[in-house]
Chains A and B, each alone.
Chain A
Amino acid sequence: MRTCVFVSYDLSAGQDTEKYKNIITEALDVELRSLGLSIVPREEWRDAQEAMELSDEALLSGLNAVSVARRVNSRLAITGFYSVDSDRILVQIKCYNVMQNRLIASFFESGRPGLSLYNLISSAVATMRPKVEEGMNPLPAAERLSDPRLTEVELLSADEGAEVYLNGENLVGSVEEGHLSIYSIKDTDLHIELRKEGFHAGREVIHLGEGIRNEHRVRKMVRETRWASEILYTSGQMLGLGFGLRYYFLPDELFVSVEDYFYVQHSFEVQSQPILHNDIRLLVGRYLFLDPYSPFRFGVSLGLGVILTGFSVPDIPVFTDFYVNVLNGWVELNLDNWILYLRVEGKYGIEAGENLLGGRWHLVADAVPPMTLGVVKKW
């Protein structure tokens, strides 16, 4: 079990007491290793400490110590201070459960500086040991076994390393090797929340049965999407295809997209010529109502665009139809890494430049707004 041992802070008023810092820290390392704990190298947590801009004194705060320890994936955080006064040394050591964010053991004792300091540290570790072992579990083992109201909840998850919170507040552990076991009251609803960097927090309510053991497969967490690409197919523009690129300012919530749709208008009569249209637009889209875990989602977007029209007949200029995407609305099927959507587009032409459609709504067959079928690949 990874354990962070923060250097004991020197609160002594006099000088020449710095040497005890290393003595205490190294003694703690030795004693804790004898318990089977893995000590996080000092350089590793120092980097995290500097990144969080915390001083050594700040690490005396349990909250800060736990925060730094969490960043280096440590399960325990041990911090403390000492103070030397003439021929006495006062030592305080505290041990925190990082996942549960709570103090599980503490030691406060004085002794003589010198070789007896090693005995003092050894005594401290021996004193805290049972509480450390006990504190690593959500509930005391004895309670678990004896309390008939409790059930063991086995959470199965594919999201390795995800932290599991109860009621959105209390950290109860993290997923390791595909599972996490916790204890809770039988026949109740358990509100769990999974958190993992780069993923949307996943919330579930699990109803616990009467058995002594409940197994539940937690829904796979949804990765936060920043970029996505898409392929478009639009009514009234059947001889063509569109491509788009999205960037999400807020993952899976708010995005800006650039779309380009090229299509040919052709009657296939002998006397007709193909007309080439290219529709470029910039849209801002926002999802409404439902979170990224929902299989169906809704959204709206708006923006600006221009359709360039070229004739294959010489001497006819390229026409430009600028338009405002007043409002698009879409419904989508939201899969793991893919989205399939159907979008209704409200496009209103701007009377500017050499245009063909003029200042009016762009309608298919003069009756219905264009509809786009889109396939989105989330990156």
Chain B
Amino acid sequence: MVKTALLALALLIVSLLLVTCGVFSVSPFPANLPFVAAFIDLEDSLDSFLGDRGIAEVDYLFHTIRDDSERDVLFLIVRLKDTGDNKLLVLDTNLELIEELDNRALGNLVLFNSNSVLTPSEREFVVGLEVFDGDSLEYLGNLEDDFVVPVPPDVAAVGFSDNNILVNRNYWTYVEPGTGIHNVDYVDNDWVGGFVSDPNDVIDPRQPIKLTCDRQRQEVVIHFINGNDTELVRYAFLGFENLGPSYPYSSTFSMPGGMITFGGADNPRNSHYTRDGIIIANEDGSMNRYDFSGRKEDEWDLGSGSNYITSFDIDGVFYYYFDFNERRLYKAHTWWD
């Protein structure tokens, strides 16, 4: 009897050790679920467009853009690699689907408050060549008939509009195909363009992919891809409208090379500037957060078994992630305090 009792005690202790140690306390469900604040299933919107195409046959672009009234708007662009067809979904931060557009010449250009492109004195969003009302987000029309857009539609060109902070311009950046020249360009209210950087000089192994505007800090951040690493360059608003030959070496803070790689390097736009740090997200859902000296702060994992594209608000309060496999979009609180 004593022997039996001892055996029972031993088994109990071993069992408790097993079930209470750290590894065993992690739920089989994704760790981010408790942080989810909203959800939308986009199967109805995407199934017929995507057909039976696999993940490798589709490109996704996902941006959270903040306008000058501190409102965030989500743009999810889905592009079929085989046909080049595009679909755009525009959502608000409650994940209400506001607009859907199919098969338009969307390109990669994403601007906001684009300083009255089609309707003078009204704010507008521009995605590719398509224009949306700045308030209602409803589709207004296409730029092509009225303006010559000075950016090739297939290059990455996520920009911002200063909307009277500087001189009412819409800015974007890209590498000119064929020449490798870096451009930071703008158009003004009349959709007349110009160069912020010196168009003839800047050829650099780093490729600019996006501009982030932090109105609170009055800074503009340029995101670069450098091989498998990412680098960010900060500029003050003041003087940004005419970087000239100082581009792109001013105030550079660089993420440590080798530490940061993108998931498969097939979607280098998955670098995100927030006021709480830089987040490098991989398609498998793993994410690292760095401070502005390049030191790693923490990491997070959305869970295995799917592929994701993410987007963060500039405050670092919420982020949004789209699950490729399930075609679901989530809004979640960021994991750090």
B8: Cβ under 8 A from any A Cβ: yes
A365 and B34 in contact (CB under 8 A), knowing A269-B337, A295-B7, A316-B39?
Answer: no
B37 touches A313 (CB 8 A): yes
Q: Mark A359-379, 1 if CB is under 8 A from B, else 0.
A: 010111111101101000000
Q: Mark B1-39, 1 if CB is under 8 A from A, else 0.
A: 000100110011011101110011111111101111111
In the bound complex, residues from chain A placing their C-beta under 8 Å from that of B12 are: 340
Q: Which of A257-308 contact B (CB under 8 A)?
A: 265-267, 269-275, 277, 295-296
Pair A271/B8 contact, Cβ less than 8 Å: no
Contact B333 A272 (CB under 8 A): yes
Query: A356's contact among B11, B29, B37, B334, by CB below 8 Å, is which?
Result: B29
Tell whether A235 is near chain B: CB-to-CB under 8 Å.
Answer: yes
Residues of A near B4 (CB, < 8 A) are: 295, 333, 335
Q: Is B139 an interface residue (CB 8 A)?
A: no
Residue on B nearest A235 in the bound complex, by CB:
B24
Min Cβ gap B196→A in Å is 38
Contact for B34 among A274, A335, A357, CB less than 8 A: A274
- State whether B25 touches A235 (Cβ < 8 A): yes
B28 touches A272 (CB 8 A): no
Question: Please, what's the 1-or-0 string for A189-225, where 1 marks a CB less than 8 Å from any CB in chain B?
Answer: 0000000000000000000000000000000000000
Q: What is the CA–CA distance of A275 and B330 in the complex, to the nearest angstrom?
A: 15
Establish whether residues B35 and A238, one from each chain, have CB atoms under 8 Å apart when the complex forms: no
Of A270, A316, A363, the residue contacting B28 (CB under 8 A) is A363
Check: B304 CB closer than 8 A to any chain A CB: yes
Main secondary structure, interface of B, reads: mixed
Give the shortest distance, in Å, between A369 (CB) and chain B (any CB). 9
Whether A309 touches B29, Cβ cut-off 8 Å, given contacts A270-B337, A364-B23, is yes
Is A67 at the interface (CB under 8 A from chain B)?
Answer: no
Bound CA–CA A317/B26 (angstroms):
23
Identity of the chain A residue whose Cβ is nearest the Cβ of B35 in the assembled complex: A272
B250 within 8 A of partner (CB): no
Residues of A near B23 (CB, < 8 A) are 364-365, 367-368
A137 at the A/B interface (Cβ < 8 Å)? no
With contacts A233-B19, A269-B335 known, is A313 near B27, CB below 8 A?
A: no
Is A161 part of the binding interface, using a Cβ–Cβ cutoff of 8 Å? no
Contact B333 A271 (CB under 8 A): yes
Q: Quick check: A356 and B19 within 8 Å, CB to CB?
A: no
B266 part of interface (Cβ distance < 8 Å): no
**Given that A238-B20, A313-B38, A373-B19 are contacting pairs, would A364 and B7 also be in contact in the complex, using a CB cutoff of 8 Å?**
no
What total count of A-B pairs have CB within 8 Å? 110
**At the interface, yes or no: B326 with Cβ under 8 Å from chain A?**
yes
Interface residues on A, range: 35 or more
B8 touches A340 (CB 8 A): yes
**Is B293 an interface residue, CB under 8 A from the partner?**
no
Number of interface residues of B (CB under 8 A): 37
Cβ-defined partner of A313 (8 Å) among B7, B31, B36: B36
Given contacts A360-B305, A364-B24, A364-B26, contact A267 B35 (CB under 8 A): yes
Q: Which residues of B contact A296 (CB under 8 A)?
A: 7
A357 to B325, CA, bound (A): 11
Complex contact A373–B16 (CB within 8 A) = yes
Chain B, residue nearest A272 (CB): B34
Within 8 A of B (CB), among A315-374: 315-317, 333, 335, 340, 342, 354, 356-358, 360, 362-368, 370-371, 373
Question: In the assembly, what is the distance between CA of A237 and CA of B20, in Å?
Answer: 10
C-alpha gap A6/B23 in the complex (Å): 73
**Which of B8, B24, B28, B37 has the most chain A CB atoms inside 10 A of its CB?**
B28
Say how far A303's CB is from chain B's closest CB, in angstroms. Answer: 17
Partner of B41, one of A267, A313, A354: A354
A236 at the interface (CB under 8 A from B): yes
- The one of B8, B34, B325, B334 in contact with A267, judged by C-beta atoms closer than 8 angstroms, is B34
Residues of the B chain whose Cβ atoms lie less than 8 Å from the Cβ of A364 = 23-24, 26-28
Point out the residues of chain B lying under 8 angstroms from A274, CB to CB: 34
CB nearest neighbor in A for B14: A342
Shortest distance between the CB of B221 and any CB in chain A (Å): 25
Is A316 in contact with B11, judged by CB distance below 8 angstroms? no
B306 part of interface (Cβ distance < 8 Å):
yes
Contact status A342-B35, CB under 8 Å? no
CA distance A367 to B23 in the complex (A): 9
Contact (Cβ within 8 A) B11 A333: yes
Does A3 belong to the interface (CB within 8 Å)?
no
**Cβ-based interface call for A183 (8 A):** no
Q: Which residue of A lies closest to B21 (CB)?
A: A235
Give the complex CA separation of A275 and B41 in angstroms.
19
Please tell me if the beta carbons of A366 and B304 are within 8 angstroms of each other in the complex.
yes
Q: Is there contact, CB below 8 Å, between B8 and A333?
A: yes
Cross-chain contact of B7 among A273, A333, A373 (Cβ < 8 A): A333
Query: Contacts of A151 on B, CB cut-off 8 Å?
Result: none
| Shortest CB distance B21–A (Å) | 9
Between-chain CB contacts (< 8 Å), 28 pairs: A236-B26, A236-B28, A238-B25, A265-B29, A271-B333, A272-B34, A275-B33, A295-B4, A295-B7, A296-B7, A311-B33, A313-B36, A313-B37, A315-B39, A316-B36, A316-B38, A342-B15, A354-B41, A356-B29, A357-B305, A358-B326, A363-B28, A365-B23, A365-B24, A366-B304, A367-B23, A368-B23, A371-B15
Q: Which residues of A are at the interface with B, using a C-beta cutoff of 8 A? A: 233-238, 265-267, 269-275, 277, 295-296, 309, 311, 313, 315-317, 333, 335, 340, 342, 354, 356-358, 360, 362-368, 370-371, 373
